[in-house]
C-alpha cells in the first residue's frame, strides 16, 4: 500500500508540474495555480481514504450488530458529509489562491 500511495503522489506531482505553463518572470513555481491544484489533489486523496475507512468500519459494525444498522448508517452518513466538507473547503481555498 505504501508503494502505491508513493507512486500515486509522485505521479500527481509530476502531472501538475508538467501541466503548468512556464512561470512568469519573478513568479515561483510554488505560487498560484500549482499550489492550488496540488492541495486539492492531496485533499481529495485523503478524503477518499477517509471515506473508505468509514464505510468499512460501518459495514463491520452492521455485520457484528445488525439491529444497530439504522444508527450506524445515520452516523456514517453524517461523518461522510463532514469528511467531504473538508475537500470543499480546500476547493474554495484553491479558487481564492487563483
Stretches where the chain sits below pLDDT 70 are 13-32, 98
- Residue-level pLDDT at 76: 93
* Distance, CA of 2 to CA of 22 (rounded, Å): 32
38: number of CA atoms within 13 Å, CB side? 18
Buried b (16+ CB within 10 A) or exposed e, 30-58: eeeebbbbbebbebeeebeebbeebeeeb
Distance CA 10, CA 51 (A): 22
pLDDT number for residue 98: 63
Calpha distance 79→53 (Å, rounded) = 11
Put simply, whether the predicted model's pTM sits higher than 0.85 gets the answer no
pLDDT at 94: 79
DSSP per-residue string spanning 24-90: PTT--TTSTHHHHHHHHHHHHHHHHHHHHHHHHHHHHHHHH-GGGHHHHHHHHHHHHHHHHHHHHHH
**Homologous superfamily assigned to 42-98:** F1F0 ATP synthase subunit C (1.20.20.10)
Amino acid at each position: 500500500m505504501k508503494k502505491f500511495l508513493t507512486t500515486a503522489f509522485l505521479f500527481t506531482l509530476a502531472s501538475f508540474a508538467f501541466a503548468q505553463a512556464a512561470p512568469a518572470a519573478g513568479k515561483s513555481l510554488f505560487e498560484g495555480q500549482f499550489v492550488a491544484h496540488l492541495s486539492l489533489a492531496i485533499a481529495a486523496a485523503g478524503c477518499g481514504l477517509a471515506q473508505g475507512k468509514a464505510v468499512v468500519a460501518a459495514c463491520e459494525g452492521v455485520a457484528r450488530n445488525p439491529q444497530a444498522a439504522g444508527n450506524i448508517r445515520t452516523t456514517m452518513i453524517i461523518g461522510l458529509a463532514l469528511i467531504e466538507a473538508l475537500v470543499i473547503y480546500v476547493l474554495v481555498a484553491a479558487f481564492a489562491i487563483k
